[in-house]
Amino acid sequence: MRYLHTMVRVTDVDASLNFYCNLLGLEEVRRIENEKGRFTLIFLAAPGDKDAALANQAPTVELTYNWDPEEYSGGRNFGHLAYEVDDIYSLCAKLQDGGVTINRPPRDGHMAFVRSPDGISVELLQKGESLPAAEPWKSMENTGSW
């Protein structure tokens, strides 16, 4: 058995790719346009997983865009995606500068939560040891839910 992908439904491809790729740092490795089924599948990999994703089609996040409008709710019921990051403070700053709310700031230098444009909760975990507590993060309050 091996892990293949996690699928999340998205309502706006451009907003989702901006969040997952431009802000979070994932890379598109494959795309399927299915005219008969009226959907697009976009597979994304973390930079450290890109070679494996290209060779084995895993591990990836699959963004599913259904061409016919649908309303999705319950993104929190999904749980969350989790990524290990090299510098949690710089990534959170980049996300915040890109208009993303830091729902659970990395006060401990180790863990943060944000949400995608479709409400999918994303956990960020500092690679290795926690970074020393630093402002503005250590005094920032939680916002919303994650």
Whole-angstrom CA distances from 74 to 8, 55, 119 are 11, 33, 8
Is residue 123 among the annotated active site residues? yes
Q: Is residue 51 helix, strand or coil?
A: helix
Q: Identify whether the C-beta of residue 16 lies closer than 8 Å to the C-beta of residue 6.
A: no
- 123, 129, 135, 141: which one is catalytic? 123
Q: Which residues pair with 124 in a beta bridge?
A: 83, 112
Smallest CA-to-CA distance from 113 within 72, 134, 83 is with: 83
> What contacts 4, CB < 8 A, 6 or more positions away?
57, 58, 59, 60
Indicate which residues carry an active-site annotation: 123
